């Protein structure tokens, strides 16, 4: 495989608390856990792709602290190229505080830390050094100016861009419509439709994806949770169903999906085949605890 995946994104330490149910505002409840693992949407997706066989370079920033080793440890073990990760002295490594309830649902508070220091110039330099067949993957946890600069640099260089605007970040129209594919969940897709001033033919993920394609986005993938994913491009509309599984923790499942999708695109799969594989990887991830610790390698049997 000569093409590489260039992931420009966030790297955090995930701090987990496990509770019977999520507390109401002002309520204190007892929980368990306290374990820490690497996280951040960029690092998560980079790891998921690497575990699925893709050669990956990660671009980001961590602090000059002990948390940096936690944030990057799994990536290093998986063979991800970390030469473009900056270690900054004036900000701590990013932190995500994750509360997981007994039914597998989670709440997450992200403290950006060093991630907020990733500059447009750092992203542009990484894109300039990439190969002609490389794919650039971005998310929504870096500063808006950095994400937009990276996408525009990738388009100018002729690189394929996979853009997962999660969490939602109101990026410029030309940036959103440059993605191939634009990967969103239903909530984020609704925000993108509103941001672009579009009208969807219905409320579901498929209708939202179709509206975004009519706005000029080459392809759109909307994740539908337990229902799978909707795929829309110039060739038409499809829904890729997910195998029913028992979820124990949904943390990072969307990142497992997106990283696996990008890995299959790097390998040469057409979009629908890549989505089919990504749905299976996401279904595997929700059956295991944590974000990065839940991601399968090539040796694991997928649903």
54 is in an annotated binding site: no
106 is in an annotated binding site: no
13 is in an annotated binding site: yes
Using only C-alpha atoms, what is the Rg of the chain? Answer: 18
255 is catalytic: yes
Which of 81, 134, 233, 255 is catalytic? The answer is 255
What contacts 30, CB < 8 A, 6 or more positions away?
Answer: 19
CA atoms within 13 A on the CB side of 158: 3
186 is in an annotated binding site: no
204 is in an annotated binding site: no
Candidates 277, 266, 271; CA nearest to 1 is: 266
Count other C-beta atoms under 10 Å from residue 161's C-beta. 23
φ, ψ at 222 (rounded to 5°): -110, 120
206 is in an annotated binding site: no
141 is in an annotated binding site: yes
285 is in an annotated binding site: yes
CA dihedral of residues 60, 256, 104, 94 (deg, nearest 10)? 0
Largest pairwise CA distance in the chain = 53
115 is in an annotated binding site: no
Annotated binding site: 12-14, 40-44, 141, 185, 223-228, 249, 251, 254-255, 285, 288, 290, 294
Q: Which segments are annotated as binding site for substrate?
A: 12-14, 40-44, 141, 255
User: Binding site for ATP: what residues are annotated?
Assistant: 185, 223-228, 254-255
Residues belonging to the active site? 255
Q: Which residues are annotated as a binding site for K(+)?
A: 249, 251, 285, 288, 290, 294
């Amino acid at each position: 495989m000569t093409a590489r995946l260039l992931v420009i994104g966030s790297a955090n330490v995930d701090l987990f608390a496990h509770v019977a149910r999520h507390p109401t505002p002002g309520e204190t409840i007892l929980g368990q856990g306290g374990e820490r693992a690497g996280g951040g949407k960029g690092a998560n997706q980079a790891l998921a792709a690497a575990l699925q066989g893709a050669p990956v370079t990660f671009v980001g920033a961590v602090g000059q602290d002990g948390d940096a080793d936690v944030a990057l440890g799994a990536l290093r073990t998986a063979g991800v190229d970390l030469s473009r990760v900056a270690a900054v002295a004036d900000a701590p490594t990013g932190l995500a505080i994750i509360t997981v309830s007994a039914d597998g649902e989670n709440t997450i508070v992200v403290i950006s830390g060093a991630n907020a220091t990733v500059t447009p110039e750092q992203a542009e330099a990484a894109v300039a050094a990439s190969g002609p067949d490389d794919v650039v993957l971005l998310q929504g946890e870096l500063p808006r100016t950095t994400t937009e600069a990276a996408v525009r640099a990738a388009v100018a260089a002729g690189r394929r861009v996979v853009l997962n605007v999660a969490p939602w970040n109101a990026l410029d129209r030309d940036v959103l419509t440059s993605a191939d594919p634009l990967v969103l969940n239903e909530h984020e897709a609704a925000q993108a439709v509103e941001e672009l001033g579009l009208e969807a033919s219905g409320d579901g993920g498929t209708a939202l994806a179709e509206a975004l394609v009519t706005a000029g986005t080459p392809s759109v993938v909307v994740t539908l949770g337990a229902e799978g994913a909707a795929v829309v491009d110039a060739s038409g509309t499809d829904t890729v169903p997910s195998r029913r599984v028992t979820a124990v923790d949904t943390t990072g499942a969307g990142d497992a999906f997106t990283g696996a999708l990008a890995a299959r695109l790097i390998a040469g799969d057409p979009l629908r085949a890549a989505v089919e594989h990504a749905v299976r990887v996401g279904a595997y991830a929700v059956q295991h605890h944590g974000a990065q610790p839940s991601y399968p390698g090539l040796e694991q049997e997928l649903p």
